[in-house]
Amino acid sequence: MNNKKTKKIIQHTIMIIFTLIMIYPLVWMFSSSLKESSSVFVDAHSLIPDGFHFENYIQGWKGFGGISFSTFFFNSAIISIIATIGSIASSAVIAYGFARIKFAGKTIWFVCMMLTMMLPFEMVMIPQYIMFNKFGWIDTYLPLILPTFFGIPFFIFLIMQFIRTIPMELDEAAKIDGCNNFSIFFRIIVPLIVPAMMTSAIFSFYWRWDDFMGPLIYLSTPEKYPVSLALKLFSDPNSVTNWGAMFAMSSLSIVPIFIIFFFFQRYIVDGISTSGLKS
C-alpha cells in the first residue's frame, strides 16, 4: 500500500514538473499581459509583473476604431463552429467511403486528396482569390466556411485510419441483419469513431480559430474580422506597438480553444467504451 502511494507521488511529481516546463512560455505570455506596455522588454526575464496592469485588457478589448473584441470573438466563433461541423460531418462520410467500400478509381482519388495537402496555401491563394472573386464571395465567410463542407483531407485520412481499426466482421454482421452501407455507417461506424471525430473537431476548431492568411485575404470589412486577424492589427514594426494590449488579447484568444478542448477531450477518453456498440 505504502509502496503504491510513493509510486503515485513520484508519478505525479514527474508529471507536474514536466507540465510546468511545457507551459512556462504560456505563463510568461500571461504575465507579460499584466506588465506595463513599455516595460514588456525591460523586465522580460521576470515572470512576476511589476504590478497588475489590467488596463491592458481594457485597452486591448476596445479594439480598433470602435470595433471591439467582442465582435472579433463572435466572428471567430461563428466561423469556427460552422466550419468544424462542416468538416467533421463531411470528412467522416468521405472517410467511410475510402476506408470501407471498394470501388473503381479509389486509389486515384485518394492520391489526389493526399496531393492537395502538399501545396502550401500561400502558393494557391492568388488563384484561389481570383476564383472566389469571380464567384462574388470576397468579403463573405463563404471562402472560409464552404470548402470545409467538402471534407478536409487531414480529417478524412485521420478518420479513415480509425475506421480501419474496426473489425470488418461488424459490418458484415450488420449486413446480414439487413443493413445497407448507409445504416452501417450511421449506426455502427459513427459511434465507434467518436474519439477520432472529436479529435478532429478539436483540431478543426483550433485551426479555424488560429487561421490568419485566409481571413486576411478574403475579408475586407473590419467588422467581419476574426480574432486571429485582429491580433495582428496591434503591431506595426515601424511604429509604437501596444505590446501589453496585444499580449492581453493573445492570452484571451486562447481561452475559447482551451474551453473547447477541455469539454471535448472527455469524448476521447471515454471513446469506444461508453459510446457503445449496442445501437
Partner 1 sequence: MKKYILLCMILVLSALLSACSDTTSEADSADGDQVTLRMTWWGSQSRHDQTQEIIKKFEEEYPDIKIEPEFTGFDGYFEKMAAQAAGNDLPDIMQQNFGEYLNQYADKGLLADLSGFVEDGTIDVEGVSDTVMESGMKDGKLLGIPTGTNALAAFYNKTLLDEAGVEVPNENWTWEDYVDAAKKVHDETGKFGTRLMEPKNLFEYYLREKGYKLFNDDGTDLGYTDDKLLEGYFTLNKELIDDGVAPGYDTIQQIKGVEDELIVHGEAPFDFRWSNQATALTSAAGEQELGMTLLPGSNNTQGMYLKPAMLWSISENSEHKEEAAKFINFFTNNIDVYEIGGSDRGVPIKEEIRSEMSSDLNETDQKVFDYIELVTENSSPIDSNYPPQSTEVLAALSEVDELVMYGELTPEEGAKQFREKAMSILGR
Partner 2 sequence: MIPKKSEHSPAPLEEVSTNPDLKKKVNSVKPRRKVKSDNHNVTGYLFISPFLIGFFSLTIFPILYSFYLSFTDYDLLGTPNWIGFDNYVRMFTADPTFWKSMKVTFFYAGVAVPIRLVFALLVALALNKVVEMVGLYRTLLYLPSIVGGSIAISIMWRQLFGNDGAVNSILASIGLPTHSWLGDPDTAIWTLIILYGWQFGSSMLIFLAGLRNIPNTYYEASSVDGAGPIKQFFIITLPLLTPVILFNTIMQVIQGFMAFTPSFVVTNGGPVNSTLLYVLYMYRRAFEYFDMGYASAMAWVMLVIIAIFTAIIFKSSPHWVHYESENK
Residues that bind partner 1 (CB under 8 A): 38-42, 44, 64-66, 82, 85-86, 89, 122, 125-127, 129-130, 133, 136-142, 145, 149, 186, 212-213, 216-217, 220-222, 229, 232-243, 245
In this structure, how many other beta carbons lie within 10 angstroms of the beta carbon of residue 232? 13
Nearer to partner 1, 110 or 216 (CB): 216
Residues 238-267 binding partner 2 (CB under 8 A) are: 246-247, 250, 254, 257-258, 261-262, 265-266
Angle (CA) 162-205-69 rounded to 5° is 175
**Host H or E run for residue 106:** helix 106-116
- Helix pair angle (69-100, 153-163), 10° resolution: 50
State the binding partner of 158 from partner 1, partner 2, none, CB within 5 to 8 A by kind. Answer: partner 2
22: contact with partner 2 by CB under 8 A: yes
Bridge partners of 67, per DSSP, are: 64
Phi, psi of 55 (to 5 degrees): -60, -20
Bridge partners of 64, per DSSP, are: 67
Nearest to 247 by CA among 28, 45, 10: 28
17: contact with partner 2 by CB under 8 A: no
Q: Which three cell numbers stand for residue 107?
A: 486509389
Q: Which stretch binds partner 2 (CB under 8 A): 52-60, 71-79, 172-180, 216-224?
A: 172-180
Which of 78, 147, 216, 222 forms a contact with partner 2 (CB under 8 A)? 147
Nearer to partner 1, 88 or 160 (CB): 88
Nearer to partner 1, 161 or 220 (CB): 220
Phi, psi of 67 (to 5 degrees): -100, 115
Nearer to partner 1, 242 or 265 (CB): 242
Nearer to partner 2, 61 or 149 (CB): 149
